[in-house]
């Protein structure tokens, strides 16, 4: 493993003489002279292993990318009073946060939703460096809010020893605070366009819904298919016409139905059981009693299957 000074020398060699001199001109004179002396010694480059050279370049690219992303925004020459007024209105509804200027302390003043929102666009390595400097409880709470894939990538980084310089940690903290303070303190709305549109259509009277869906299908068949999957839910069983409930129960297999009912609201369970024969009802009730733990993913998949069947039969009925 080579030290920081040798890393700097090797990086300057890799950058080339002209670029290296431009970099040295921006360094403290004493350190720059020391590096120039090392470069002038013209030690054989092959002494540094290829994998070490790659590591040096990767570190440089990562720090360079981070520096670009955390560069303060240029001041705007235009005034935007209307947007400022809107922002002020939103802030009045939230708890006032008074920053102290101590970035590490200010992180504890912000909500975990603001912190996760500010960090979500960062590289897993950057996030891990900052989380490693937080209290375990705060780090765990922030980590829990990231999407699954990002959370797993961060966890892999946390397994490695974080030896980032304190100066870098504080810089990441300052940039995070600057972004986080502009974000809402509450949970982020992670619904996509299809989710929001489906919720709107669900509120439309059923007599108009078919026309809307037909218009959407004519314009965008893929969007229509995605909407149809989200338009109906397993919980709709408690509000459906009994005839439609019976048709659903007649086509769904018992295992899927029982899995979908696991942990469901009692009103939904009652609606299902009320439309079964006495024998079928007893069988379902016995199976539910013996089900102690079912993975959430399996329950969700079973309910989605029932919901798709509800949608299919409902559309056919119309």
Residue-by-residue DSSP string for 257-273:
HHHHHTT--HHHHHHHH
Topology agreement, domain 100-180 and domain 234-318: yes
Q: For residues 199 and 232, give the distance between their C-alpha atoms in angstroms, rounded to a whole number.
A: 10
Between 20 and 313, the more confident residue is: 313
Name the nearest CA neighbour of 276 among 295, 291, 296, 261.
Answer: 261
Q: For residues 306 and 303, give the distance between their C-alpha atoms in angstroms, rounded to a whole number.
A: 5
| Claim: this prediction has a pTM higher than 0.85 | no
Name the nearest CA neighbour of 248 among 263, 233, 262.
Answer: 233
**234-318 has which fold?**
Annexin V; domain 1 (1.10.220)
Residue 257 has pLDDT above 60, yes or no: yes
Q: For residues 193 and 135, give the distance between their C-alpha atoms in angstroms, rounded to a whole number.
A: 36
**100-180 has which fold?**
Annexin V; domain 1 (1.10.220)
pLDDT-derived band of residue 80, with 50, 70 and 90 as boundaries? very low
* Every domain of the chain and the residues it spans: 4-69, 100-180, 191-231, 234-318
Q: For residues 108 and 130, give the distance between their C-alpha atoms in angstroms, rounded to a whole number.
A: 12
Would the CA dihedral through 150, 151, 156, 157 be positive or negative? positive
Measured from the Cβ of residue 92, the count of other Cβ atoms closer than 10 Å reads 8
As given in the structure block, the two tokens for residue 87 are 């922002």
Residue 92 has pLDDT above 50, yes or no: no
Name the nearest CA neighbour of 69 among 22, 25, 119, 112.
Answer: 119
Residues 6+ apart with CB under 8 A from 105: none
Residue 17 has pLDDT above 90, yes or no: no
pLDDT tens for 163-187 read 888 889 999 999 999 999 999 888 8
pLDDT of residue 192: 65
Q: What is the assigned CATH class of domain 191-231?
A: mainly alpha
Q: CB of 104 within 8 A of CB of 167?
A: no
Q: For residues 35 and 15, give the distance between their C-alpha atoms in angstroms, rounded to a whole number.
A: 14
């Amino acid at each position: 493993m080579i030290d920081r000074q040798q890393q700097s020398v090797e990086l300057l060699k890799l950058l080339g003489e002209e670029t290296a001199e431009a970099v040295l001109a921006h360094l403290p004179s004493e350190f720059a002279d020391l590096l120039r002396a090392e470069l002038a010694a013209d030690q054989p480059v092959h002494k540094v292993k290829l994998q070490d050279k790659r590591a040096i370049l990767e570190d440089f690219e990562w720090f360079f990318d981070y520096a670009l992303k955390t560069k303060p925004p240029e001041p705007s020459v235009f005034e935007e009073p209307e947007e400022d007024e809107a922002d002020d209105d939103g802030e009045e509804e939230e708890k006032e946060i008074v920053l102290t200027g101590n970035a590490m302390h200010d992180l504890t003043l912000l909500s975990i939703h603001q912190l996760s929102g500010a960090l979500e666009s960062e590289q897993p390595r950057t996030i891990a460096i900052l989380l490693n400097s937080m209290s375990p409880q705060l780090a765990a709470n922030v980590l829990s809010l990231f999407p699954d894939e990002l959370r797993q990538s961060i966890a892999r980084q946390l397994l490695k020893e974080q030896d980032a310089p304190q100066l870098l940690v504080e810089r990441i903290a300052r940039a995070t605070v600057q972004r986080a303070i502009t974000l809402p303190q509450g949970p982020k709305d992670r619904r996509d366009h299809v989710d929001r549109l489906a919720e709107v259509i669900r509120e439309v009277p059923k007599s108009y819904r078919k026309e809307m869906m037909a218009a959407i299908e004519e314009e965008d068949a893929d969007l229509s298919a995605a909407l149809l999957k989200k338009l109906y839910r397993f919980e709709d069983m408690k509000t459906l016409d009994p005839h439609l409930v019976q048709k659903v129960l007649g086509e769904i297999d018992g295992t899927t139905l029982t899995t979908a009912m696991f942990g469901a609201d009692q009103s939904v369970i009652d609606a299902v059981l009320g439309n079964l024969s006495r024998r079928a009802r007893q069988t379902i009730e016995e199976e539910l009693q013996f089900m102690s733990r079912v993975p959430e993913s399996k329950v969700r998949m079973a309910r989605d299957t029932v919901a798709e069947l509800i949608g299919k039969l409902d559309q056919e009925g119309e």
